[in-house]
Amino acid sequence: MNAEHAEQLWEQKDAPSSADGPHPWALLLAAGRGSRMAAATGGTSKQFLLWKNAPLYWHSALTFSRSGVVAGIVFVFPPDALARCEAEVRALDVRHPLGLPWKAVGGGVERDDSVRNGLAALPATVRHLLIHDAARPFVSARLVRAVRASLAEGAEAVIPALPVTDTIKMVEGDRVLSTLPRHQLAAVQTPQGFVRAALEAAHAARVAELAGGRARPVTDDAMLMEGAGHTVRVVPGEKTNCKITTVEDMALLSPPPFLQPRTGMGYDVHRYAPDPAAPKARPMKLGGVAIDKAPAVLAHSDGDVLLHALCDALLGCACLGDIGEHFPDADERFDNISSAVLLDQVLTRVRRAGVRPCHADMTIVAQRPRLAAHKEAIRANVARLLRLPPEAVNVKATTEERLGFTGREEGIKAYAVVSALFRPPVADDAGDAHVC
C-alpha cells in the first residue's frame, strides 16, 4: 500500500477501533543526522545502518505493524533524502509487507520540528499517536501494546521507563553538587504515546515560546506535555529496548554468537614393561591417579594412557591434530612429564580455539589390573583437571575376555569421547552502512 493510497483511505474513514478505543498511528522519527557516530559509520546516520539486511528504522516499523494495535505509520526522514527514502520504504514494503497504510515526510532542523511535520501528516481522524526513535530497533510488540493500552484507558501522555540502578549525582565540572534520590528517577524510552490534540497544543505553545526567545531545552515530547500541565503516565520499559547512540552500541547489531556442538574421539595404548626397572618403565597412572599393584607401562611421558586418549579427544573437538604432533616422544622436554601437565596445555590450546568441553566419557580396557575400586577417584580427578563437575565425567573399565593383546595382559588401552561447544568467529557487519 503506497502513501497516496494511504491518504485516500484514511481520510475517508476512521482509524480501526477495538473494545478499548481507537488504534493510534505511529510516528517514526528517522530524520536525525547522527553526528556523534559519523566517524564510525562513514557519515551515515545510525537509523540507516543495515541490520539483518534492512535499515534500522524498518525493524521498528515491522514491530509496530505486527503489534496489532497500530493503524498506520508516518516516517519522518531527512528532507534532502526524502524521495530516496520513500522509494526505499516502498521497496521494503513489497519485500516484507507492513499491511498498514504509511506516509513519508521530511523532518526539520530540530527534533521538535520533525515531530510537528509528522503530526501535520497524520490523517485528520487520528486521535492518538505513538512517537518512536528509529534508533531503537529492538522495541517489542508487547511494549507497543502496553503504551497503547494506557492511552486507551484515558491517559493523555504515556512513557515507558526503567528504574535507575546507578547512584546519580548532579555535578558541575569536577565537583559534586548533590546526590539525587534514585528511587524517584527513571530512564525513559520510546515509543511514547499521546492524545494528538493535547500534543499539538503543547507544540504550538513551544513554537510561541521559541518566537519569544524564552523556550527551555526539551529532550522529548513528554517533557512538553509536562510543561503544559498534563499528567504523564509511566509503563514498565524493557532493558532490551536499547537506543543505538554511541559507537560502542553498534556491537548490539552484531550477529549473536551461536554455539556449535563438537565431538572428539581419542584412543591410546601402552605396552606393559617386562621389568619395572626397565628404561622408560613408568608406574601406572590412570586419569592422574596412581594405581597400586599394577604393571608398569613403557612410555616417554608418565604413560597415563587415559589422559593421553583424553588429550586426543579434546584436540579432535578443536581440529588441532593429535597429541603426538604437539608433544612428540622424541622431544626430551617431555621425558617422564606428567600427563596432567600435557592435558592442561591441551585445554589451553583448545579453549583458545573457541572450544569449551562440557562432557567426557572414557573407557579403560585392561585384563589387569582390576579397576572397579579406582573408578570414582579417577572420575573425580579427571573432572578436576577438565574443570568440569563430576557429573559431567564418566569412567568405565572393562576387559576383553582374554582376547587380543590386552587379553594376553601385554598392555592397556583407553578410549575417550569428549563433547564440547564451539563458538565460531563471526563477521562483524555492524558497521555496514546504508543510505536510502
Which is it for the CA torsion 125, 128, 134, 140, positive or negative? negative
Q: Are residues 245 and 154 in the same domain?
A: yes
Q: Are residues 135 and 206 in the same domain?
A: yes
> What are φ and ψ of residue 207, in 5° steps?
-60, -40
DSSP sequence for 166-190: S--EEEETTEEEEE--GGG-EEE-S
CA 173/CA 192 separation, integer angstroms: 33
Task: Please list the pLDDT of the chain residue by residue as tens digits (436 residues).
Answer: 444 444 444 443 444 555 455 799 999 999 876 555 544 545 557 777 887 888 999 999 999 999 999 999 999 999 999 999 999 999 999 988 999 999 999 998 888 999 999 999 999 999 999 999 998 999 999 999 999 999 999 999 999 999 998 999 999 999 999 999 988 999 999 999 999 999 999 999 998 888 888 777 788 999 999 999 999 999 999 999 998 877 776 767 766 667 889 999 999 999 999 888 888 889 999 999 999 889 999 998 899 999 999 999 999 999 999 999 999 888 888 888 999 999 999 999 999 999 999 999 999 999 989 999 999 999 999 999 999 999 999 999 999 889 999 889 999 999 999 999 998 764 433 333 333 3
CA 108/CA 210 separation, integer angstroms: 15
Q: Are residues 273 and 225 in the same domain?
A: no
User: Is 432 part of any domain?
Assistant: no
Is the Cβ–Cβ distance between 223 and 402 less than 8 Å?
A: no
Q: Would residue 21 be called left, alpha or beta, if left means φ above 0 and alpha means ψ between -120 and 50 degrees?
A: left
Q: List the CATH number of the domain containing 171.
A: 3.90.550.10
Q: Are residues 25 and 128 in the same domain?
A: yes
Name the H helices within 304-403: 305-317, 323-326, 339-352, 375-386
Domain boundary among 217, 238, 253: 253
User: Is 9 part of any domain?
Assistant: yes
- Write out 243-290 in H/E/C secondary structure: CCCCCHHHHHHCCCCCCEEEEEEEEEEEEECCCCCCCCEECCEECCEE
Q: Are residues 218 and 343 in the same domain?
A: no
CA 394/CA 380 separation, integer angstroms: 9
User: Is the model's pTM score more than 0.85?
Assistant: no
Q: What is the DSSP letter of 209?
A: H
Q: Are residues 144 and 11 in the same domain?
A: yes
CA 431/CA 119 separation, integer angstroms: 32
Which residues share a beta bridge with 281? 298
Q: How far apart are the first and last CA of the chain?
A: 19
User: Is 431 part of any domain?
Assistant: no
Domain that holds residue 188: 3-253
Q: Are residues 180 and 272 in the same domain?
A: no
Q: Are residues 195 and 284 in the same domain?
A: no
Domain boundary among 197, 232, 253: 253
Q: Are residues 231 and 266 in the same domain?
A: no
